[in-house]
A and B are shown apart, each in its own frame.
Chain A
Amino acid sequence: MLKEILELSQKTFHPYLDEARRSGKKILGYFCSYVPEELIHAAGFVPYRMRAVENHGTVKSDVYFSSVNCSFVRQCFNKALENEFPFLDGVIFMNSCDHLRRMYDNWMHSGHDPKFLYMLSVPHKSDEICVEEFTRELAVWKKNMEVSFGVTITDQALENSIRLYNRQRDLISRIYNLRKNDSVPLKGGEFTGIMLAVTSLPVEVSIEMLEKIVEEIKDRQVNRDSDIRIYLGSGYHEERELLDLIEDSGAIIVGDNSCLGIMQFDRNVEEGTDSPLRAIALRYLKRISCPRMVDDFRNRLNFMNEALKEFRVDAVILDKLEFCTLWSGIIYLYKKELEKAGVPMLKLSRELNSGATGQIKTRVQALIEGVKNQKARAGHQG
């Protein structure tokens, strides 16, 4: 099952999506872990997290974007302009960053399919005023989908979707937490592959697959005793090769604080409340936050510090895409705190799918060597 799911992760379109379409289901793309999949699912659709895998550069999107814009946005939009998402019936955007919100504008302007493009406005704070506002925004979006697609999204359907996505999050959490053990059953690249796949699959299918994976990997070990344990703080990443490169250099990625990682599955939506929309709003605003959220750095830092202890992390890699202002800032803050705590750290800044492996490999090897030497010295002194 793991092999199959990893293969799915490298494809833009796969047989499960094809099957969903043949059975009359619509597929709605979405960007960012702040877009509630539950709402899309409750409409009877399949949520599909947008990705740039199998991309062919940025020739067409460069007409719209500058070279100082995010490479994920440029590559993904290029795929749209190349008509590589013909299976989508709509795309949900959100105001996560300046690059992405302009992708919405540019896509609208280009007139490319699909025609249903929606900008969901998500607040940047999680206090009661913002929870109320996000609940209202979700209601507006729900109404918009109902009118645009001629469907009705009932509270019962929302409850069902909440239950399913909670189940999916629980299973992912189980897999994620297995990496706390000495014997790590999954590589970081494989975990990213699982996340890429489950965010493109009908949730019912992904639950079945995840259940099988839990069984499949329970006695598996992928790390060597000499591997150092890495925590990955990252914005968007989808290149498994990059993580393989880190792990092949003598490390194992055991945990993350990333966009396609923990941010996607941290915290469940409360079930059985009077207002499923409010419950959804609460989960999405209160889960571990991305740097787009303001006034939450201390929570993010505490979350990371806890993880460093729980996963017995030796070093941290902070990775961001070039021109990502939000991650650039948070990495500066993490770096300050990690230096204070004496945790070895490496900052990477790269273009998505750039293939600049040589430079990254050298830097990762230097980090790993440094940590191993430090451990050896400590062992010698001890």
Chain B
Amino acid sequence: MSQKDFMLLRKTIRTNRLVYGLLKFPRLTAFLLTYLLGPRMIEKETPGNRDTRFGLARLGSGMATADELASMRWYIIAMVEMMENLLKAHEKGEPIVCYDWSVPSEIIRAFHVETTSPVHFNRLSFNNNSDYAMEMIDKADGEGLDYDMCNLNRVAMGAILDRQMPPPTLYVSASHPCDSSRTSNQILHYLSDAEHYVLEAPYHREKEDLDFYAKNLWDMIAFLEKHFNRPLDWEKLKKSVENINAFNKYLREVTVLHRAIPSPNLALYLQNTFSLHMTIPETDYAVNMAGKLLEIARERVARPTRKMKEKERVRVICWDPVPPAFDYYKWIEKHFGAIVVIDYEGSNFIPDIDTSSREAMIRGLGEYRLMTGMIRQTHGDATFITEELEQYIDEYSADCAIMNNTTGCRGNVAAKKLIIDVCRRRGIPVLFLDVDIYDKRINSEAEMKTKIRDFFVSNGWGR
């Protein structure tokens, strides 16, 4: 399969525009997905559903309610506009800043420039057709970027080599959270003629660490001001931070509401907000999506339906990113009544950012990015993992945990004994599911299903 420049972006924009249009009528779309498309999507990948299955998995695989789909409408338009703006900037020859997903990118956008994160292209590739991701991995392989790097980064590098991403005029990367990020950033800088800046991040997140991070963020701002030859627009940044605060405030409450039995069952959509953290969390769209999720969660917790009560048989903690090749949240719900009540990426414990001064705002943005899912657990000591996992078990009445043992995540796979011991101490079973984050050839969907099925059956939750 050969792809023309930015074909992935253009295709995503077209498809998402269509979905956005359909979601003007969420009840009708829910009906169509539930009765027509959904049943063809959820069980397995076929040549006929390969183009749509993985994108629809993010929309609930035909099991979403009308109000859940309504929340996703905001998400989709946010993504579409971001991609359209990116293409426009490229066509007009305007600056495009490529940043690593752990960078507080709202600061860059406060210079009124378009931004993009290569990691975002992973999800795009999968949502369009899972074979695209394989193609990009093969591109990276062909270039000599070997398997010691996480496929999260290899797909992103493949997307750049394949010209799926408009070439940036500046790179802003970060020194954390993992070896693979550090390594791929150095390679991206090497492969591009664009200027680059690396943001140093602290190992821990004590007061002194946040001070250090803030100093580095100020250094980044000075670099950007020099690069763009203009000052940062503090008014724009303040507005962005206010929106980020609203976004996180809503999501924090949604996270907490998942303690309820039955849970409001929105973990999949909370996980989608992770993509917003990585891209444009400061937009009104992001706030609207979070607000809608909160509205649904409050309603479900206040008035749980009989169906909700009957459906929730097993409460699951999901740890480490779910492989897009088998986005199993809805599959386990359908087959075992297993509801993910909290997960690693979507859970939100991000504190408010103090907007009283510029200094406080920058410091707060640093903390925000250290507390975002996946970064929160992968940098620093493993106590960041174990303490959070214990908190999940204590507060969310979990029956079991599924650990997606992502091959490329060397830090997390080396914490398996720590995780097993936490679960054993708290008396819940844990399944270690060997997955590769983007290469579906390494662990097949059938193999993963067998392991999940065996796990639920052996614990008395299925036949």
A: which residues have CB within 8 A of B? 63-66, 68-70, 73, 95, 97-99, 101-106, 109, 119, 121, 123-125, 127, 129-130, 133, 136, 291-292, 294-295, 297, 322-330, 332-333, 335-336
B218's nearest neighbour on chain A, judged by CB, is A129
* CB <8 Å contact, A326 and B415: no
Q: Which 5 A-B pairs have the closest CB atoms?
A: A329-B183, A105-B382, A102-B414, A328-B148, A124-B175
Known: A98-B178, A325-B180. A68 touches B413 (CB 8 A): yes
Contact B182–A294 (Cβ < 8 Å): yes
Return B198 CB to nearest CB of chain A, in Å: 4
**Count of interface residues, chain B, beta-carbon cutoff 8 Å:** 44
B303 at the interface (CB under 8 A from A): no
Complex Cα distance, B187 from A70, in Å, reads 22
Cα of A102 to Cα of B385 in the assembled complex, Å: 11
User: In the complex, which residues of chain B have a beta carbon less than 8 angstroms from the beta carbon of A291?
Assistant: 182-183, 186
**23 A-B residue pairings within 8 Å (CB atoms):** A65-B414, A73-B414, A98-B410, A99-B411, A102-B414, A106-B415, A109-B417, A119-B203, A124-B182, A127-B219, A129-B215, A294-B175, A294-B186, A294-B198, A294-B200, A295-B186, A325-B148, A325-B179, A325-B180, A329-B182, A329-B183, A330-B183, A332-B144
Least Cβ–Cβ distance between A351 and chain B, in angstroms: 13
Question: Closest CB of chain B to A363's CB: distance in Å?
Answer: 16
List chain B residues, Cβ under 8 A from A73.
414
The complex places the Cα of A136 from the Cα of B383 at a distance, in Å, of 23
The answer to whether A336 and B190 have CB atoms under 8 Å apart is: yes
B216 touches A99 (CB 8 A): no
| Residues in chain A near residue B383, CB distance under 8 A | 105
Select from chain B the residue with minimum beta-carbon distance to A64: B417
Closest B-chain residue to A69, C-beta based? B414
Identify 10 new A-B residue pairs, CB closer than 8 A, beyond the known A66-B416, A73-B414, A97-B410: A65-B414, A66-B413, A98-B414, A105-B418, A106-B414, A124-B182, A127-B219, A291-B183, A333-B186, A336-B190
Residue in chain B with minimal CB distance to A128: B219
Smallest CB separation, B160 vs chain A (Å): 14
CB distance from B98 to the nearest CB of A (A): 15
Tell me whether A105 and B381 are in contact (CB under 8 A). Answer: yes
**B91 to chain A: which residues have CB within 8 Å?**
none
Would you list which residues of chain B between 377 and 395 have a CB under 8 Å from chain A?
381-383
Return chain A residues, CB-CB under 8 Å to B453: none
Residues of chain A contacted by B144 (CB below 8 angstroms): 332, 335
A49 smallest CB distance to B (angstroms): 21
Chain B hits for A119, CB < 8 A: 203, 381
Contacts of B128 in A (CB 8 A): none
- Known contacts A323-B148, A325-B179, A336-B190; A98/B418 CB under 8 A: no
Q: Nearest Cβ in chain A — how far from B193, in angstroms? A: 14
* Residues in chain A near residue B371, CB distance under 8 A: none
- Taken together as a complex, chains A and B put the C-alpha atoms of A370 and B102 apart, in Å, by 45
A329: B residues at CB distance < 8 A: 148-149, 182-184, 186-187
Q: Which residues of B contact A105 (CB under 8 A)?
A: 381-383, 414-415, 418
B190 nearest in chain A by CB position = A333
Cα A162 to Cα B405 in complex, Å, equals 44
Are B173 and A294 in contact (CB-based, < 8 A)? yes
Tell me if B212 counts as interface (CB < 8 A to partner A).
yes
Give bound CA distance, A327 to B183, whole Å. Answer: 8
The answer to whether B189 has its CB under 8 Å from any CB of chain A is yes
A329 to B410, alpha carbons, bound, how many Å?
15
* Chain A proximity of B373: nearest CB distance (Å): 18
Q: Are A99 and B200 in contact, with the CB atoms below 8 A?
A: no
Is the CB of B272 closer than 8 A to any CB of chain A?
no
Say whether A95 contacts B414, CB under 8 Å: no
Give min CB distance, B99 to chain A, whole Å: 14
Please give, as numbers and ranges, the residues of chain B lying within 8 Å of A136 by CB-CB distance.
208
Q: Does B185 contact A (CB under 8 A)?
A: yes
> Which residues of chain A have C-beta atoms less than 8 A from B184's C-beta?
329
The yes or no answer to B334 lying at the interface (CB within 8 A) is no
Chain A residues near B178: list those with CB within 8 A.
98, 325
Q: Which of B144, B173, B179, B198 has the most CB of A within 10 A?
A: B179
Counting CB contacts under 8 A, is B89 at the interface?
no
Of chain A, the residue at the smallest CB distance from B202 is A121
Complex CA–CA separation, A25 to B229 (angstroms): 58
Say yes or no: A106 contacts B183, CB within 8 Å. no
Q: How far is the CA of A133 from the CA of B454 in the complex (A)?
A: 50
- CB distance A104 to B179 under 8 Å? no
Q: Is the CB of B200 within 8 A of A64?
A: no
- The answer to whether B381 touches A330 (Cβ under 8 A) is no
A325 to B150, CA, bound (A): 8
Cα-based distance from A258 to B418 in the complex (angstroms): 32
Q: Which of A65, A104, A322, A332 contacts B187 (CB 8 A)?
A: A332
Q: Which of A97, A129, A324, A332 is most buried by chain B, counting CB atoms within 10 A of its CB?
A: A332
Q: In the complex, what distance in Å separates the CA atom of A333 from the CA atom of B183?
A: 10
How far is B149's CA from A317's CA once the two chains are assembled, in angstroms?
21
When the two chains form their complex, are residues B175 and A125 in contact, meaning their CB atoms are under 8 A apart?
A: yes
Which B residues, 404 to 439, have Cβ-Cβ distances below 8 Å to chain A? Answer: 405, 407, 410-411, 413-418, 421
User: B219: which A residues are within 8 A, CB to CB?
Assistant: 127, 129
Closest chain A residue to B147, Cβ basis: A328
B335 at the A interface (CB under 8 A): no
Measured between beta carbons, the chain B residues less than 8 angstroms from A68 are: 407, 410, 413
Say if the beta carbon of B146 comes within 8 Å of chain A. yes
| Chain A CB within 8 A of B221 CB | no
* Chain B residues with CB below 8 A from A325, complex form: 148-150, 178-180, 183, 410
Which residues of B140-163 are within 8 A (CB) of A?
144-146, 148-150
Task: Report whether A69 and B186 are in contact in the complex, using a CB–CB cutoff of 8 Å.
Answer: no
Interface status of B44 (Cβ within 8 A of chain A): no
Chain B positions 201 through 218: 1 when the CB is less than 8 Å from some CB of chain A, otherwise 0:
011100010001001100
Q: In the complex, what's the smallest C-beta–C-beta distance from A325 to chain B, in angstroms?
A: 4
Q: List residues of chain A with CB within 8 A of the CB of B407.
A: 68
Q: Within 8 Å CB of A98, what residues of B?
A: 178-179, 410-411, 414
Of the candidates A73, A98, A130, the one having the most CB atoms from chain B within 10 angstroms of its own CB is A98
Task: Closest B residue to A67 by CB, please name it.
Answer: B413
Cβ of B379 to closest chain A Cβ, rounded Å: 9
What is the CA–CA distance of A101 and B184 in the complex, to the nearest angstrom? 20
Given A98-B179, A325-B149, A66-B187 contact (CB < 8 Å): no
Interface pair B381/A332, CB less than 8 Å apart: no
Chain A residues, Cβ within 8 Å of B187: 329, 332-333
Q: A109 to B410, alpha carbons, bound, how many Å?
A: 18
Nearest-neighbor residue (CB-CB) of A121 within chain B: B203
CB-defined contacts of A95 to chain B, threshold 8 Å: 203
Q: Taking the nearest CB of chain A, how far is it from the CB of B3, in angstroms?
A: 24
